[in-house]
Structures are given as C-alpha cells and as structure tokens.
Amino acid sequence: MTTVLGCIADDFTGATDLAGLLARSGVRVSLRMGVPSEPPGDTAAFEVIALKSRTAPVKDAVAETRQALKWLQAAGAKRFFWKYCSTFDSTATGNIGPVAEALMDDLGCDQTIYCPAFPENGRSIFMGNLFVGQQPLAESPMKDHPLTPMQDSNLMRLLTPQVTRPVGLADRLTVARGAQALRADLAAQKAQGTAHVVVDAVANSDLEIIAEACRDMVLMTGGSAVAMPLPALYLADGTLSADAPKAVTPTLEAGSILLSGSCSAMTNKQVAQYQTTGAPSYQLDPLTLANSGPQTVLEWLSKQDLSQAPLIYATASPDSVKAAQAKLGVAEAGELIESVLAACAVAARDAGARRFIAAGGETSGAITKALGVTQLDIGAEIAPGVPWCYAISNSHQIALTLKSGNFGTETFFADALAKLEAA
C-alpha cells in the first residue's frame, strides 16, 4: 500500500524503538535495514529505514539520509519523520541538525520541530532542557558517552551550532494550552524566520498535543515517542484507511539465543538478572578472543540445548571495558566482539535457533547483517521502545528483538522470551 509516513532513524535499535511505538496502533509497520537496493514494492503504511549514521561523518550521514528520503518518496510518502536518540546524541557538528536541514531543503519546508522526549523511558523536556529521569542530560551517565558525550542539557544550545538557521522554543506553557495554541506559536515563530523549534514535553499527553499540532508538517523530528500518536490521528481523519493491513504474528519454531554486546548500566543488570534464572551463559573475553579466536565459544554453543535460551555476552563493567580498549583499541575491541557475536548468531541459526535477542545498537547492526536480514515486520512490544520483530533469515522465519542499551527493566531477557510464548 502507499506509505503514509516515511521515517528515517539514525541507528538500528532507535529504528525498532520508533517502529514499535507506531505498531502500538495495530497497523503494519515495516522496517528496512539500510536503504533498500530495490525500488519500493510491498510497502507498509508506516515505513522506517534504519541507518547507521549517528556518528558517521556529517557528509556521509546527509548523503545516506537523502537516499533514504528518495526511497520513501518513491513509496508514496508525503510526510516524513527523522528519528534520533531520546538523549539527543550528537556533537557540535552533527548529525541531528545537518540531516534535518538537508531533509528540509529537499522537501522544500521552512520549519520543523525537535522533540526527543520519551516520558515512558524517563526522557522529558522543560524550557528546552532535556532530563534523563530526574537528572539534567549533562549530569546523567550520557555525559561520559564515549562517542557523543552530552555536556549541555539545553537543546537550543546543542542544536544552534549544528544548523544554519535560527533555533527557537515552544515551551511547556504553550503546549499545555493545546494544539491550536501550539500551532499559532509555531506560525508566529515561522513568520519571524525560526526554522528549528525545540518543543517541551514532560508527559504523553503533551506528545498528543504536539502530534496533533504538527501532524501536517512535511517533516517532524524527534525521539520515537512524539510519533506515537500519529497513526491514531491518521486513522481518525481517514488519511489512513481503517482496513490498512494489520501486523501479523508468524508461527515460529522453538530455539532461542541471547547475544549481548551492550555494556550499559542497564544491560549489565539484565545480564546478571538472567543468570539468576539458571539459563546457560558464556562470557566473551576480548583479550582471549584476540589471541585465540572464536573457536571456544562456537564449540560451547554447539553443545547447548537451544530450548534453554543460552546467553553469550561481552557485557562488562566500565573498568574492564576500558582495560580491554586500552590493550586492543576502542574500535578494534568493539569490532572484534561484534564479529564474534555475529558469528554466534549465524551458528545458532544453523543449529535451529529462531528467536534472537540482541542487546546494543552496534551489536544489533552486526547481528542483523550477519543473518542477512534486510526487512522486518514489527510485532508485540516487550518494554517501551523494544518490540519483537519478524524476518526471514536463510529461508527461516525468525523473530528478533534489538534492545537499545539503556532500555528495558532488569528482567528484560526473560520478559522477551515469555512475550513470544504468549504471542
């Protein structure tokens, strides 16, 4: 069917996050890993293209996003959503602002909004300042992020050096006055030449007002949550027909594998919690892998009963990650582990695994690539922003969940397996 909303996300777990929130509507949502090489064929009402552009050089991020836009336009989309991280992960040079401006230029639009708020996951914006739980962004663990350390909490100050046109704010007091007031405020700012407007939101009810006020904008930008109300708005006014294809749940064979390359505080807790369930687990050590390769873990995996959902993880404390990085190099350590987890995913699939849980954005990218997955259909949500996804890998129907490092509660891994049983 014709695509109603074309979405572009700057990383893989972020793309499943957005796709999962859109899929809460029950309407089919399709996720593409990278810009498809084929022109659009069987497209869904909501199409999400996942890029790996968050920390790419600005020029590459812009070029790749433009290609994604062209594909979505060919799928029939007239409205677009640019999804970045709910913690606004970016640097003074990009990539949030430059990509947004490139999309605005290509779409001929002169204003867009910026709303990374995701209240269900503790991200809120007040007077243009982003909070993670009760902490300002710059006092949260994001201040120490290895690639995009967020050392300012003010979104206008963060965005201004990334763009060429004026940046403004629509604050919570305006949002609280409703969609009409917000629309009037945006129009007044547009008349004064303000192209980029940060919009406050602290609760889902704010996001509903913002989505209603901005639903006719050619381009909206934000975290996933501000897009969540759009399907219901489109269904209500007939932009999306009530008989638009619904999400379907395919039948799956048993056999599960959990692969974790995320070292976030939450993933560390999730790995520890899963181990208390008695499930088999294997810890990857980067230094051992560098010396002797993946043979030992692959042998261990070949002896596992996949109905026990074994876990293979490189997840470690910040200190041991730093120690491994000091010896091997940051990128080298990461790539080594990603390649081993990807090899484990393929070996597990060939041994009969059909349910895959991947933790970490980079890790998820490596695993989906190794499994040859290019398109996923979105299923039930396990935790806010983390859905099950269905795909074909080497002619097998598989289910995959790609968990963003910071998302989910401590029992996420067991919750994910249980959710699939219940589906």
Ligand X SMILES: Nc1ncnc2c1ncn2[C@@H]1O[C@H](COP(=O)(O)OP(=O)(O)OP(=O)(O)O)[C@@H](O)[C@H]1O
Ligand Y SMILES: O=C(O)[C@@H](O)C(=O)CO
In the chain, what's the furthest Cα-to-Cα distance? 67
20 binds ligand X (CB under 6 A): no
286 binds, among ligand Y, ligand X, none (CB under 5 to 8 A by kind): ligand X
Residue 116 engages ligand X in binding (rule: CB under 6 A) = no
The separation between CA 42 and the C-alpha centre of its own chain, rounded to angstroms, equals: 23
Q: Residue 262 binds which one of ligand X, ligand Y, none, with CB within 5 to 8 A depending on kind? A: ligand X
Q: Closer CB to ligand X, residue 255 or residue 286?
A: 286
- Using CB under 6 A, which of 405, 408, 416, 417 touches ligand X? 405
The pairing of strands 396-403 and 386-393 is antiparallel
Nearer to ligand Y, 86 or 189 (CB): 86
Q: Where are the alpha helices (DSSP H) in 216-360?
A: 230-237, 265-275, 286-292, 295-302, 318-328, 330-350
Please report how close the Cβ of residue 139 comes to ligand Y at its closest, in angstroms: 17
Burial 333-345 (b: 16+ CB within 10 A, else e): bbebbbebbbbbb
Q: How far is the CB of 85 from ligand Y (least distance, A)?
A: 4
Residue 403 near residue 358, CB atoms below 8 Å: yes
- Element at 389 (helix H, strand E): strand 386-393
Residue 94 interacting partner from ligand X, ligand Y, none (CB closer than 5 to 8 Å by kind): none
The H or E element that residue 370 is part of is: helix 361-370
Tell me the pairing of strands 129-132 and 123-126. antiparallel
Q: Minimum Å distance from CB 406 to ligand X?
A: 6
Q: Which does 223 bind (CB under 5 to 8 A by kind): ligand Y, ligand X, none?
A: ligand Y
Task: Measure the CA–CA gap between 290 and 302, rounded to whole angstroms.
Answer: 21
Would you count residue 321 as binding ligand X (CB under 6 A)? yes
Q: How far is the CB of 245 from ligand X (least distance, A)?
A: 29
Cα separation, 374 vs 404, in Å, equals 19
- Report the residue from 16, 121, 264, 401 that binds ligand X according to the rule CB under 6 A: 264
- Provide the 10 A C-beta neighbour count for residue 57: 12
The partner in contact with residue 17, picked from ligand X, ligand Y, none with C-beta cut-offs of 5 to 8 angstroms by kind, is ligand Y
263 binds ligand X (CB under 6 A): yes
Residues of span 355-374 touching ligand X by CB under 6 A: 360-363
Interaction of residue 158 with ligand X, rule CB under 6 A: no
Q: Given the rule CB under 6 A, which residues bind ligand X? A: 13, 261-264, 267, 286, 314, 316, 320-321, 324-325, 333-334, 337-338, 360-363, 404-406
